[in-house]
Amino acid sequence: MTMRAPSSDLPLMLEEVSILAGEHHILREISLVLAAGAPTILVGPNGSGKSTLIRAAMGLIAPTRGRVTFGGREGVPPARRAIVFQRPVMLRRSAAGNLHYALGVAGVPRRARKARTDELLALVGLSGRGDRPARKMSGGEQQRLALARALAKDPDILFLDEPTASLDPAATKAMEEIISGIAARGIKVVMATHDLGEARRLAGEIVLMHRGRIVEIAGAKTFFTQPKTEDARRFIAGELLV
Amino acid sequence: MPTDASALDLVLRADPALMAIVQLSLVVSLSAVAVAALIGIPLGALIALSRFRGRNGAIVLLNALMGLPPVVVGLLVYLALSRSGPLGSWGILFTPQAMIVAQTILVLPIIAALARQTIEDLWAEYRDELAALNVGPLERILTLIVDARFSLVTALLAGFGRAAAEVGAVIIVGGNIDGFTRTMTTAIALETSKGDLPLAIGLGIILISLVIVVNALAWGARRASERYAA
């Protein structure tokens, strides 16, 4: 395990966060608290702002208005936050080389990296494939490797931006099992998806987004059985939110 | 060096004088490429990742300098290194070192400009991942250079091609002194003007062969490495 900094990035709070591209609102007055606990799943149609919210919460995009705080602090570098992008970019190295690199950046001593690399590869079901060139692995394998790489920094919070969007059912199942395992280890998982089935399987809390706003936040069970808003009811019923 | 021998004879007999010229040419050109790479690759990376006022102008200038006329560079280096010049105290005019300086100046913009483009393209791909991994500025540059290594070989080859084929600068700052600063290109120019075509052709064959061999080796190394790390 890596050395943990004394303070945590949790709770991660977005306060009245708006992000504009020119005159166009991508996020509009988002307030959200991400605290330790069960996974938070962001759902909503394409273009609803899920990915932008994740990037803002990760600290990769600065809000146009409002603020993001990490454990009560602003402008904290992402040493304790990790993300897996929808289409992760593998470094031009072997699978193990990608993990070695991330462990090095995270400050893991050189002598401990080999054991930790093996541990991470095992965690995502890639044991014995460390020598393979990362960019020549299948899409599902690259997603799992990206997940392992994100975990190299031993994060408090892990953002997943539609990690199963381009995977087949078997690869999706494997990925979801790994994500559940990660959440069970106490890492806060925040995941964007537009697959309601996946949201049902993984969520502790659901955040429905539409047109850059949060429409509804509720526990998963409540969200699916007693949605409060018309948008949520329509979304759950499979109607198109446009 | 016998002047009545055929081109093929000279090459096959590995004529010592001929080999000395070949050796000097390789030492000068490879040294220039090495020095230019040490400066040009980090410089290209720095420009690729930096945002500063006048950046576009700097890129245009760097690209334009790829077409520096060798004779002009030779002249400028000659003026700088001549006894009354600002670097006259170095005392290296008409030595291989002066030729390396001149060729480095010629090769540097090629390597820096190609490295800048290569690294900027890779940066566009890596930017989010490296930011998410919390990679610091210096480590970003190192990572991009390491990961762009296969493409950067092309920049080095372009630089080597320029250096190996160059005659205008080295003849001015080296003086084409027999046994001391005579390279393949300057020897070809001289022997052709003297009418010793066999020697000129022999040198030409070797020069072209060397360029092909160096490129083939680099290509082979790149393919072999890519198999494991692409």
CA dist list (Å): A227 to A34, A80, A176, A197 = 21, 33, 25, 16
- The burial class, CB within 10 Å (0-12 / 13-18 / 19+), for A115 is exposed
Residue with tokens 């700088």: B80
Statement: residue A61 has pLDDT above 70? yes
Residues of B in contact with A83 (CB under 8 A): 132
Give tens-digit pLDDT for A23-49: 899 999 999 999 999 999 999 999 999
The mean pLDDT value for A214-232 works out to: 95
Using the beta-carbon criterion (under 8 Å), do A93 and B229 form an inter-chain contact?
yes
What pLDDT is attached to residue A2?
Answer: 44
Q: Are strands A157-161 and A188-192 parallel, antiparallel or unpaired?
A: parallel
For A119-178, the DSSP string reads HHHHHTT-TT-TTSBGGGS-HHHHHHHHHHHHHTT--SEEEEESTTTT--HHHHHHHHHH
Residues of B in contact with A158 (CB under 8 A): none
CA dist list (Å): A164 to A137, A168, A193, A204, A205 = 16, 8, 8, 18, 19
Using the beta-carbon criterion (under 8 Å), do A85 and B134 form an inter-chain contact?
no
Chain A closest CA to B130's CA: distance in Å?
9
A139 contacts chain B (CB < 8 A): no
Give tens-digit pLDDT for A77-102: 999 999 999 999 999 999 999 999 99
B227 contacts chain A (CB < 8 A): yes
Structure tokens at A178: 């790994």
Statement: residue A1 has pLDDT above 50? no
Mean pLDDT value across chain A: 93
What pLDDT is attached to residue B18?
Answer: 84
CA distance linking residue B183 with residue B26, whole number of Å: 9
Statement: residue B150 has pLDDT above 90? no
Give tens-digit pLDDT for A182-212: 999 999 999 999 899 999 999 999 999 999 9
CATH topology of domain B7-229: MetI-like fold (1.10.3720)
For B67-80, the DSSP string reads T--HHHHHHHHHHH
Could you tell me if A220 and A205 are in contact, meaning their C-beta atoms sit under 8 angstroms apart?
A: yes
The residue extents of the domains of chain B are 7-229
B228 contacts chain A (CB < 8 A): yes
CB atoms within 10 A of CB A108: 22
Nearest to A69 by CA among A36, A31, A20, A106: A31
What pLDDT is attached to residue B215?
Answer: 87
- The burial class, CB within 10 Å (0-12 / 13-18 / 19+), for B109 is buried
Rg over CA atoms, chain A: 18
Using the beta-carbon criterion (under 8 Å), do B147 and A92 form an inter-chain contact?
yes
Higher pLDDT, B215 or A121: A121
Structure tokens at A238: 């499979």
Statement: residue A242 has pLDDT above 80? no
CB atoms within 10 A of CB A128: 9
B131 contacts chain A (CB < 8 A): yes
Nearest to B7 by CA among B197, B226, B228, B219: B197
A27 contacts chain B (CB < 8 A): no
What pLDDT is attached to residue B16?
Answer: 86
What pLDDT is attached to residue B230?
Answer: 54
**CA terminus-to-terminus distance, chain B:** 48
CA distance linking residue B150 with residue B127, whole number of Å: 19
Chain B closest CA to A24's CA: distance in Å?
23
Statement: residue B228 has pLDDT above 70? no
By mean pLDDT, which of A105-109, A142-146, B222-226 is the weakest? B222-226
Chain B closest CA to A101's CA: distance in Å?
9
Give tens-digit pLDDT for B51-91: 999 999 999 999 999 999 999 999 999 999 999 999 999 99
A12 contacts chain B (CB < 8 A): no
B-chain residue closest to A154, CA distance: B133
What pLDDT is attached to residue B229?
Answer: 62
Using the beta-carbon criterion (under 8 Å), do B128 and A89 form an inter-chain contact?
yes
Query: Where do the domains of chain A lie, and which CATH numbers do they carry?
Result: 12-89+154-236 (3.40.50.300)
Chain B interface, best mutation among A55, A85, A91, by max B CB count within 10 A = A91
What pLDDT is attached to residue A3?
Answer: 45
Higher pLDDT, B223 or B163: B163
CA atoms within 13 A on the CB side of B14: 1
A-chain residue closest to B129, CA distance: A89
Plot region of B175 (φ>0 → left; ψ -120 to 50 → alpha; else → beta): left
